[in-house]
Structure 1
């Protein structure tokens, strides 16, 4: 009787296997997009800290608080209000506003509603450019009511411009309704610094 060694199992031949599907990469794209957004936020935060950090004297212990642009009290180093000109400009502020009452001059987009306009001149007395846009302004009435700027209803509306150091621009800021304007407020669109000019005339 002959002894036969058992044959090793041979792999069975199978039909062609379908190729394995890789992920579509959507997860990777979403991941990189989120990473990009986080990176932009960090860059913006560092840049803002660097810009605001330049004014860091007020952060030192014992330092006097820095003057705010909306301060109403005159100070000896830099007048916050020029008599008869309606200007608030604390020392070191790069933006100066002169505001006077003016008649509303309706544009083709005015719908017949009552509006109140103020003629302003905004000047860049700083060392860097500043952006000016009608959306950066609002009017406050003598009764304390706040009126955001209405766009394109006055034909003399202030232009959207970038002011280089030493430049200025003049135009109107218009609020909806009939009211007596007390002051105009300019808020820098990037950093949120506020400058106020009293309305005279």
Structure 2
């Protein structure tokens, strides 16, 4: 007697239906996962490069600002203005000094129509403060406010955190040729602004 087999997919005599075939796995999940991982990796890489670049420029700024800060910090009037019986003067939490300076074109500046101001920020408070070129604005003699242009000046002020007693000096640059009247610094994008006249 010969055995007869039912066609595939049909019930086998005595055994019932065969198990269904295994579904093919899609690689879409792996592709999406690796894409997200790649994006996160790029963001981390950009953050590390940015930190290294700002660290290098803050070291340069700190070295350049140290001699400049040493001379004005020791005026002859300081001992005379402090009588022994009077209470010491209270300093502002953040001191901003702005001076005219020459624009030094960086490699990413487009054209020469920029105005720079040399700014020194000193932290007199008991808490650290943040300094970032985006926290500055220059107001010209006509009352027009100019936001800081990033990377236009070679001596741009560094993005740093100043501990109590520390200071940093650098250029804040606005687009266009104008006469700077005041510089406004804001600790953070929505903090209270501190204004200094440009000398």
TM-score of the superposed pair, with normalisation by structure 1: 0.53
**Residue 128 of structure 2 corresponds to which residue in structure 1?**
129
Q: Is the CA contact (8 Å cut-off) linking 1:100 and 1:120 kept in structure 2? A: yes
Please report how far the alpha carbon of residue 191 of structure 1 lies from its aligned counterpart in structure 2 after TM superposition.
5.4
Match of 2:155 in 1: 156
Structure 1 stretches lacking a partner, 5+ long = 1-89
- Does the aligned pair in 1 maintain the 2:157–2:168 contact within 8 Å? yes
Taking the aligned partners of 2:189 and 2:142, their CA distance within structure 1 comes to 29
Contact preservation (8 Å) 2:96, 2:120: yes
Bigger helix share? 2
**Uncovered stretches (5+) of structure 2, i.e. residues with no partner:** 1-88
- Where 1:189 maps in the other structure, the secondary structure is coil
CA RMSD after TM alignment: 1.6
Alignment of 1:56-95 (within 5 A): 93-95=92-94
Match of 1:57 in 2: none
> In structure 2, what is the Cα distance between the partners aligned to 1:189 and 1:130?
9
The answer on whether the counterparts of 2:105 and 2:112 sit within 8 Å (CA) in structure 1 is no
8 Å contact from structure 1 (residues 113, 176) kept in 2 = no
User: Across the two proteins, how many residue pairs are aligned to each other?
Assistant: 111
2:142 alignment counterpart: 143
Work out the CA distance in 1 between the residues paired with 2:143 and 2:98: 17
Is the Cα–Cα contact under 8 Å of residues 156 and 172 in structure 1 kept in the other structure?
Answer: yes
Cα distance, 1:91 vs. partner? 5.3
Residues in 1 aligned to 2:168 and 2:91: alpha-carbon distance in whole angstroms: 20
What is the CA distance between 1:92 and its match in structure 2? 5.6
